[in-house]
Amino acid sequence: MLKRLDKIRFRGPRTREDFPDLGDSPPASDNECSDDMQPKARTSLRDTEDILRDPAGSGSPLMAAAIQDFQRSESERLSEVKGHLEIALLEKHFLQEELRKLREETNVDSLRQELEKERSKRLDLEQKMSEVLKTRFWWKNLTQLHVSCSAEKQQKEVWSSRLQKWLYERFGVYIEDFRFQPEENTVETEEPLSAKRLTENMRRLKRGARPVTNFLRNLSALSNWHSVYTSAIAFIIYMNAAWHGWVVPMFLFLAILRLSLNYLIARGWRIQWSIVPEVSEPMEPPKEDLTVSEKFQLVLDVAQKAQNLFGKMADVLEKIKNLFMWVQPESTRKLYICLWVAFITSCLLPYQLLGFMTGVYAGIKFFIIDFMFKSCPKLRDKYDTPYIVWNSLPTDPQLKERTNATVSRRVQPVVSRSSLATIPSGLSREDDMGRTHSTKKGAFHEVFNLPESERPLAVCENGWRCCLINRDRKMPTDYIRNGVLYVTENYLCFESSSSRSSSSKKNKVIKLVDITDIQKYKVLSVLPGSGMGISIATPSTQKPLVFGAMIHRDEAFEAIFTQYMKIMTSPKPPATAEL
């Protein structure tokens, strides 16, 4: 047993393959060994009991010796079993120690795996470090490049700033002119109405328009051959320039010459270069204090001039509009044909020949044809096509009057038949008109001290309400008078509404034959009828009389003008009456 124990204790080291796997071998314990030994002990005890129970054996000494041997053998066996148990325990501890060492050895694979992981991490770190070094290298190069670029950029900025500064110093003023800026809406302050300011503006307007009026007067004098010698020289020079194609250079030279003469005149030279001698109008000294009537008269004069000017401008614009809008097809057709002829001529003929023809025609038209037409009005009325077309063009008020006249002509026959049916039998038309024509103050001929044959025309049986503006009077009561206007065959009568029945001092009677000028007039738009009126000039008045605030101004003007033209063209002298 001791040899076995020594063999177990001092046996050589065993390899890992000599031991079973730890997972396959069950855990050993002290109970397992004791369990294996118990059946043997039990069997030996049973044998001893059987021997002791059997006394009648082969012999007692032998049996005693056998029993002693048996007991010895049993004690030896017991000691041997104890030794086996101790050996088993020692083996158990040894095996446990071996298992522990084996377990420690099994951690080598995990350590190897960890080592491989660590090695891969180290390689990754080395690779990252190399990349970091590369990036640092590139970053360093980039920073150096950036520094160099920034230095070059700063140098360029310095040069560009110097260049901009030099350009601004040289051309800054001109560059500022081309800078876009938002347009400022400036509201002009309007001056209040002042008689002094109005008079001053009128004088300034006359002084400013004097060169233009002098130029137009000289052109008219050349066309009218006011000075035969001057007009003949101008005609020869112009035709020679047109023949050689020097019309434009000639006009440019004349403009330069005029400016040169104006410069000499401004320097103090006295040069008179005018075909028609200039007439200096007497300048009235400005009045410091004006009366109410003078201020009102001044406003009326300015309003009349502005009205006439605006009226002429409106007539010109309306005629041009109606010419192009085919309002009067005969006139527009002529313009249409002329434009086609001019277009075809400009396409076929060379410009030099076309300019020559245009210049020659303009010279002949200005110096010869216009002179003949102005000298012979009948010839102009027959053959001056532009003049005829322009005068035949209607304005918008004339078109409206034509439309109203057409409508009234359609209604007039029905009205005349109905009026004849209402006249009683035994009375003539003249008796009926004489019976009905009377004013509010009495009979018509008695109010105006006219013959009984003078009766209002059929157009103005009840008269036209208006106000008479006598600009020769200074008193406001005599300046404006309200009343009714009548027109007879030979007279224009105004009945004042403020006159008494026994006195006719404020009534106004004008002979149609004494009228020197009659035209439409607009006083103020705030008056009734939009301020429409009629201006009539006579030799007995310094300024024309104005019948304003007429609602039916166009109808009254047509009736008065028609009767006036009838009286002026009739060979029979008009009847007279004592006023």
**What CA–CA distance (Å, rounded) separates 451 from 444?**
9
Q: Is 240 helix (H, G, I), strand (E, B) or coil?
A: helix
| Cβ–Cβ < 8 Å for 523, 540 | no
Task: Reply yes or no on whether the pLDDT at 366 is more than 80.
Answer: yes
**Distance, C-alpha 185 to centroid of its chain:** 14
pLDDT value at residue 11: 47
pLDDT value at residue 321: 92
**Residue-averaged pLDDT of the chain:** 75
pLDDT value at residue 16: 42
**What CA–CA distance (Å, rounded) separates 231 from 223?**
7
pLDDT tens per residue across span 1-23: 445 545 544 444 444 444 444 44
Q: How confident is the model at residue 517 (pLDDT cuts 50, 70, 90)?
A: confident
pLDDT value at residue 407: 60
Average pLDDT over residues 535-554: 86
pLDDT tens per residue across span 476-515: 556 688 889 999 999 999 998 864 444 456 788 999 999 9
pLDDT value at residue 336: 93
pLDDT value at residue 29: 44
The residue whose two tokens read 């401008």 is 313
- Top pLDDT among 183 and 102 is at 102
Q: How confident is the model at residue 317 (pLDDT cuts 50, 70, 90)?
A: very high
**What CA–CA distance (Å, rounded) separates 288 from 145?**
87
pLDDT tens per residue across span 62-79: 666 767 777 777 778 788
pLDDT value at residue 458: 85
**Pairing status of strand 442-443 against strand 438-439:** antiparallel
The residue whose two tokens read 């300034």 is 204
pLDDT value at residue 88: 86
| % of the chain with per-residue pLDDT over 70 | 70
> Counting Cβ atoms within 10 Å, is residue 534 exposed (0-12), middle (13-18) or buried (19+)?
buried
Tally the C-alpha atoms within 13 A of residue 101's C-alpha that lie toward its C-beta: 10
- Top pLDDT among 407 and 102 is at 102
pLDDT value at residue 26: 46
Q: How confident is the model at residue 142 (pLDDT cuts 50, 70, 90)?
A: confident
The domain segmentation of the chain, as residue ranges, is 196-270+303-392, 442-569
**What CA–CA distance (Å, rounded) separates 77 from 71?**
9
pLDDT tens per residue across span 183-214: 666 666 767 777 677 778 878 887 887 888 88
2.30.29.30, 3.40.50.1110, 3.30.2010.10, 2.30.130.10: CATH of 442-569:
2.30.29.30
